[in-house]
Amino acid sequence: MLRGGWLDRNLRYVFPLPALVFVFVMMVFPIAYTLRLSTTEWSMSSMAPPSWVGAANYASLILSDDRFSGAVWRTFYFTILAVILETLLGVSIALALNREGRGRNLVKTVFLLPMVATPVAVGMVWLLIYEPTIGVANYFLSLLGLPPLHWLASPRQALPSLVLVDVWQWTPMITLIVLAALTALPRDPFEAALVDGATPWQTVRHVTLPLLRPAIVAAMTLRAIDALKTFDIIYTMTQGGPGFSSETLNIYSFVLGFQYFQMGKASALLMIFFAIVLGSAIVLSWARRPVEA
């Protein structure tokens, strides 16, 4: 009787308790532990305990590590180029598919295939496609009369080649989001445009795209946050090479932690990376407000 009475009085605390414990164990504790580790110098290859160094790891990365600054630039280059291309292609394909016709559902199903493939499998397939001697990429270039490329073997071409793989895999996501938004658009503006004699292009430019803007911005936000954290495709195909030409922040933190065993410096890099991703998410969410208003 007493136990039942205590539960009745504290239901508002008891019900959310499992969720709070989950958030603390799975999110708050790893971040707090990484933050603490980032203020120490600790090598996994030695038996010495971590020693306190304060903000030295952060200062070393920001002020004197050229490899870190290069990784920051490549992370944003990869993200911005991939998201712009995926948005342009995704919206164009969605507008093309938003018509009644035979085979429309089959095309949608085929579009899902790149998204459900595992990143390692995608990386292995594209390694064969980019192979300079037997890959089909250079074969298609030869059909167009263009010279062969070195793709992943060239420091200048490696990162754009990885962007192309990301575009191939994640453009369908933009397409599906925009297609779902197209089905929910009101019909009145389109009927008014038809009555006013608007051409198909004028209807798309002045009616469809403005109405789709909230969905497009939401899709770009999701893709940008995900592209910033891309690791598996890059590590599978280049491991950050040749040299450091495709090394992003995620790849560099992995190298610091599990190849150089500098866990303190790797933790500092991860905290900086966490701040970059969180800041980007806040900025993109803030940018969505005028669109959704």
Query: Which pLDDT does position 3 carry in this prediction?
Result: 55
CA 22 vs CA 17, 30, 40, 46, 74: distances in Å? 9, 12, 27, 33, 34
pTM of the model as a whole:
0.88
Question: What are the CB-based long-range contacts (under 8 Å, 24+) for 35-39?
Answer: 35/267, 35/271, 37/263, 37/264, 37/267, 38/264, 38/267, 38/268, 38/270, 38/271, 39/264, 39/268
**How far is it, in rounded angstroms, from Cα 112 to Cα 107?**
9
| Tens digits of pLDDT across the chain (293 residues) | 445 677 788 888 888 888 889 888 888 999 999 999 999 998 877 778 889 998 999 999 999 999 999 999 999 999 999 999 999 999 999 998 887 777 777 877 787 788 888 888 999 999 999 998 889 999 999 999 999 999 999 999 999 999 999 999 999 999 999 999 998 899 899 989 888 888 889 999 999 999 998 899 889 989 999 999 999 999 999 999 899 999 999 999 999 999 999 999 999 999 999 999 999 888 887 876 665 55
Query: Which pLDDT does position 35 carry in this prediction?
Result: 94
Classify residue 211 as exposed, middle or buried by CB count within 10 Å of its CB (0-12, 13-18, 19+).
middle
**How far is it, in rounded angstroms, from Cα 32 to Cα 20?**
16
**How far is it, in rounded angstroms, from Cα 253 to Cα 189?**
50
Residues in the chain: 293
Query: Which pLDDT does position 290 carry in this prediction?
Result: 60
Peptide bond preceding 242: is omega within 30 degrees of 0, i.e. cis? yes
**How far is it, in rounded angstroms, from Cα 152 to Cα 194?**
49
User: Which letter does DSSP use for residue 262 in this model?
Assistant: B
What's the distance, Cα to Cα, between the start and end of the chain in Å? Answer: 52
**How far is it, in rounded angstroms, from Cα 38 to Cα 31?**
10
